[in-house]
Amino acid sequence: MDPRAKFMVIMVIFAISLLFTNILVLLVVFLAQLPLIWLAKSMRRWAASMKGGLILALLIFVMNYLTGSTLTHSLAMTVRFMALLSSFSIFFMTTSPDDLGLAMEQAHVPYTLCFTFTTAVRLVPTMAVDAQTVVDAQRSRGLELDKGNLLKRIRNYIPILIPLIVSAIRRSVELAEALESRGFNVTAKRQSLVVLRMKPSDYFAVLAALVSLSLAVWASLYAQLPQVELPLELPRIWQILGPCWSK
Amino acid sequence: MPIIEIKDLSFSYSGTSRRSLNSINLEVEKGEFVVVTGPSGCGKTTLCRCLNGLVPNFYTGELTGEISVCGLDVQKQTTSAMSQHVGFVFQDPENQLFCLTVERDVAFGPENMGFPREEIRRRVDWALKVTGTEALKDRAPYELSGGQQQRIAIASVLAMQPKIIVLDEPTSFLDPKSSQEILEVVARLNRELGVTVFLVEHRLDLATRHSNRIVVLDKGAVALDGPPEEVYGEQAQLIGIGVPKVPLLFHMLKQDGIDVRETPVTVEEGIKQLRRIISD
Amino acid sequence: MIVVEDLHFAYPNGNQVLHGVDLNIQDGEFIAIMGENGAGKTTLVKTFNGLLKPNQGRVLIDNIDTKKTSVAALAREVGLVFQNPDHQLFCETVRDEVAYSLRNFGYPSDVIEKRVKGMLETLDLTPYVDSSPFMLSGGERKRVALASVLVWNPKHMVLDEPTIGQDYQQKDRLRNFIIQLNTQGKTVVMVTHDVEFVAECKPRVILLSQGKIIGDGTAEEILTDKDLSTRASLLQPQIALLFSAIEGLPRGIIDVYSARLVINNTLRGSK
């Protein structure tokens, strides 16, 4: 799917999530993404990134509840967060950095910026290998990264950072040389070999997203949405602590 | 007219008074395969940089003398303009591949030139075919082995269809087998497409078989320039280059008074000569 | 002594590199580990100082099991010099760079002072003592890296691709230096592709291919073995190729000087 169309869809999901505080609507928005994930065959990776956001989600729930919101509302906020996190995860999981770079180029972002982005991504695995080698080399000279107090441990990273930085600088100079030698010219007109083309399915998706957005805006302003209030009331923290204090 | 004409070229990098190049005089004809070598610091890399304009545009300093490549005065051209005539392959394969797929890396040069899309496509497919790397088209450069990366680097340079390819110690980071393969690719380009090759190498044992001209630089000047059988002698040893073992051996045998007619430069020639010497 | 027993190792990403390596290196031996890219050479030597721990099998350095010991402790016995000096240089002066490891190991300052001075002299680096390591040439940086490991006098020295980026004269000096180290009693293990360099040093050669040892013998034996060389994607030395093609010549000649001697003798003999 064209990354630009994808981006529009994600933006719509984002907007819809922010429009509502109704837990039922938010749950729908969240669950509606599941078939998309299943289609993209990224269930496992999605689950992993959701797991990562669990702590933050819990924090949001607790913060909301402690500051006086109802249980339902706190849950709703949590679901909203999950829906937002989920939508962005989907976008980044299903879009290669290459496609992102291309989308940026075609969106008339200045070529230098696009190139900086893709080169940075391209260099990540290379620098990761470098980093491991530097750690190995310094450990072989007696550097112990897991010993000492906090201050010492921070200082122990200097022998790792400096070679990495120097290595990065050297790499940049060599890259620049190679770029110059291949005619990299910021001012001249540039033609791209690969071009992103929106397919009919992409247009359809964008249209569907925009229609959903309009419906959502209308619903948030005028519709009577089914409300749910969970009758459960978890004991508030002062209700737990209160008796402890007085004891 | 020679495709490379260098007269009295001298250069010192900004901030140093030491001359990296000391009155170089050199001519290269179209279609030649020249191997350039010399001890560390002799100016080999600096000379390469002069050929495509990196000196003096990227590496500033004091440049005197004349240098003309493909009929153009390099000192008056931008590196960008020179890139269509001179392709440069660097030592470290990783740092000359910047895109996320091989195909885009090879397309990079022509894209910069603003050629129409079909032209770019044509050039990319051709460059991949000539270097035997079509199968790697959609791979990410960092996943490839050093040898594969260098092949892609050559393809990227070829896509500009230069008349000269300059290679600065391309086999430094490669194992012997990949080194051999890369040099084969370059030799084929020279033989079949008539591309002029300017190869800086330490690995003379692998490079010699493809060339009939060795240039030895020492302290920024041309010390020796001729066919391998002439160059691989006493003086080369004194300057300190890695003369391949077979010519070295026969040079020593000649000194021992043995009747060596033409000094063999490859193993095959050496075998023939040795057979002859022993059976006589 | 370095003892490797049934060593299996796979990287966390699942890449199984070593498939059961058994090796015995006596004190004071001179070894070259050779093999194609990806054969596991660097992986193997990284198990010697504990950077990598065996998944199966064990590595014993002077009877100490590397699985139970820290890298810092093992590093005192096994000095590993990496291929690219830029992966370790970080100090403001060459003096600090060379002293770094001694500080890590807790040597007193006066000892550090003396040792650093001595090491710089040995490697012709005294003029650069107060220079920034980053300002030195490639060859000089390699020597600084070597000095910074040698300075704590480890019993066993491991060099990963010491000849890369060196010109002929530098390689010559390196060869003499390595041989000198070995003569002084140090175990020297070098991982290398450079067949001609090995032919001139004549160490014991261990040939690795696809994570297993396929050859172990003198340089003369291994480098003249066409089969083994093909299996390990090794290019045989030119002299070896030359001699193996001619009937009647003695086997095991791999360097120029021996070749010259043999040919002269053969010709004199036939007269």
State mean pLDDT over C45-49: 94
Task: Spell out the residues 6+ positions from residue B149 whose beta carbon is closer than 8 angstroms to its own.
Answer: B93, B94, B97, B141
Indicate whether C98 belongs to any domain. yes
Indicate whether C140 belongs to any domain. yes
Same domain? C73 vs C88: no
Domain that residue C195 falls in: 1-77+158-168+183-220
Q: Is pLDDT above 90 for A36?
A: no
Q: What is the mean pLDDT of chain C?
A: 92
Say which of B54, B100, B113 has its CB closest to residue A118. Answer: B100
Reported confidence tier of residue A77, pLDDT bands at 50, 70, 90: confident
Distance from the Cα of B222 to chain A's closest Cα (Å) equals: 25
Q: Name the nearest CA neighbour of B146 among B85, B224, B94.
A: B94
Q: Is pLDDT above 70 for A237?
A: no
Q: Do the beta carbons of residue B43 and residue B215 sit within 8 Å? A: no
Contact state of A96 with B100 under an 8 Å Cβ cutoff: yes
* pLDDT 10s digits, A100-149: 888 888 888 888 888 888 888 888 888 898 999 999 999 999 998 888 88
What integer pLDDT is reported at residue A88 of this predicted model? 85
Structure tokens at C23: 């090796």
Indicate whether C138 belongs to any domain. yes
- B41: which chain C residues are within 8 Å (Cβ-Cβ)? 137
CA distance A161 to A179: 26
Contact state of B180 with C235 under an 8 Å Cβ cutoff: yes
CA distance A26 to A18: 9
CA angle C210, C213, C216 (to 5 degrees): 145
Contact state of B258 with C169 under an 8 Å Cβ cutoff: no
By percentage, how much of chain B surpasses pLDDT 70?
100
Indicate whether C231 belongs to any domain. no
Structure tokens at C223: 């480098």
CA distance B103 to B105: 5
Indicate whether C233 belongs to any domain. no
Q: What is the mean pLDDT of chain A?
A: 82
State mean pLDDT over C180-186: 93
Indicate whether C226 belongs to any domain. no
Say which of A98, A115, A193 has its CB closest to residue B117. Answer: A193
* pLDDT 10s digits, B160-191: 999 999 999 999 888 888 999 999 999 999 99
CA distance B225 to B36: 9
- A159: which chain C residues are within 8 Å (Cβ-Cβ)? 88, 90, 100
Indicate whether C135 belongs to any domain. yes
Highest mean pLDDT among A72-76, A188-192, B86-90: B86-90
Contact state of B52 with A176 under an 8 Å Cβ cutoff: no
By percentage, how much of chain C surpasses pLDDT 90?
79
Q: Is pLDDT above 70 for C24?
A: yes
Q: Do the beta carbons of residue B224 and residue B235 sit within 8 Å? A: yes
Same domain? C128 vs C16: no
* Inter-chain contacts counted by CB atoms under 8 A, chains A and C: 63
CA distance C196 to B243: 11
Same domain? C146 vs C215: no
Complex prediction ipTM: 0.89
Same domain? C68 vs C197: yes
Indicate whether C17 belongs to any domain. yes
Q: Do the beta carbons of residue B158 and residue B125 sit within 8 Å? A: no
- Of the listed ranges A47-56, B191-200, C52-61, C153-162, the one predicted with least confidence: A47-56
What integer pLDDT is reported at residue A234 of this predicted model? 63
Query: How many CB atoms are closer than 10 A to CB C111?
Result: 10
- Of the listed ranges A189-198, B137-146, B226-235, the one predicted with least confidence: A189-198
Contact state of A183 with B124 under an 8 Å Cβ cutoff: no
State mean pLDDT over B3-16: 93
Q: Do the beta carbons of residue C71 and residue C78 sit within 8 Å? A: no
Same domain? C67 vs C163: yes
Q: Is pLDDT above 80 for A1?
A: no
What integer pLDDT is reported at residue A192 of this predicted model? 81
* Inter-chain contacts counted by CB atoms under 8 A, chains A and B: 105
Distance from the Cα of A158 to chain C's closest Cα (Å) equals: 8
What integer pLDDT is reported at residue B136 of this predicted model? 93
State mean pLDDT over C115-124: 92
Q: What is the mean pLDDT of chain B?
A: 92
Same domain? C18 vs C68: yes
Query: Which residue numbers of B have CB closer than 8 Å to C's CBs?
Result: 38-41, 145-146, 172-173, 175-178, 180, 202, 205, 240-242, 244-246, 248-249, 252-253, 256, 258, 267, 270-271, 274-275, 277-278
Same domain? C90 vs C106: yes
CA B244 to chain centre: 18
A174 interfaces chain B, CB cutoff of 8 Å: yes
Reported confidence tier of residue A246, pLDDT bands at 50, 70, 90: low
For strand B164-168 and strand B21-28, is the pairing parallel, antiparallel, or unpaired? Answer: unpaired
By percentage, how much of chain B surpasses pLDDT 90?
70
Same domain? C68 vs C90: no
Contact state of C105 with A142 under an 8 Å Cβ cutoff: yes
* Inter-chain contacts counted by CB atoms under 8 A, chains B and C: 93
CA distance C261 to B181: 34
What integer pLDDT is reported at residue A244 of this predicted model? 62
* pLDDT 10s digits, C205-243: 999 999 999 999 999 999 999 999 999 888 999 999 999
Distance from the Cα of C113 to chain B's closest Cα (Å) equals: 32
Same domain? C93 vs C139: yes
State mean pLDDT over B238-249: 91
Same domain? C111 vs C148: yes
- Chain position carrying tokens 């480098």: C223
Domain CATH code at residue C29: 3.40.50.300
For strand B164-168 and strand B196-200, is the pairing parallel, antiparallel, or unpaired? Answer: parallel
What integer pLDDT is reported at residue C206 of this predicted model? 96
Contact state of A193 with B104 under an 8 Å Cβ cutoff: yes
* pLDDT 10s digits, B28-77: 999 999 999 999 889 999 999 999 999 999 999 999 999 999 999 999 98
State mean pLDDT over B10-19: 91
Highest mean pLDDT among A180-184, A217-221, C216-220: C216-220
What integer pLDDT is reported at residue A236 of this predicted model? 62
Task: Spell out the residues 6+ positions from residue B52 whose beta carbon is closer than 8 angstroms to its own.
Answer: A181, B69, B74, B79, B82, B83, B86, B87, B88, B166
Contact state of C260 with B256 under an 8 Å Cβ cutoff: yes
Query: How many CB atoms are closer than 10 A to CB A204?
Result: 11
User: Which of left, alpha, beta for B38 (phi over 0: left; psi -120 to 50: alpha)?
Assistant: left
Contact state of A134 with C51 under an 8 Å Cβ cutoff: no
Same domain? C102 vs C144: yes
State mean pLDDT over A65-87: 82
Q: Is pLDDT above 60 for A247?
A: no
Domain count, chain C: 2
Same domain? C68 vs C8: yes
Q: Do the beta carbons of residue B147 and residue B66 sit within 8 Å? A: no
What integer pLDDT is reported at residue C78 of this predicted model? 95
Contact state of B112 with A184 under an 8 Å Cβ cutoff: yes
Reported confidence tier of residue B154, pLDDT bands at 50, 70, 90: very high
By percentage, how much of chain A surpasses pLDDT 90?
11
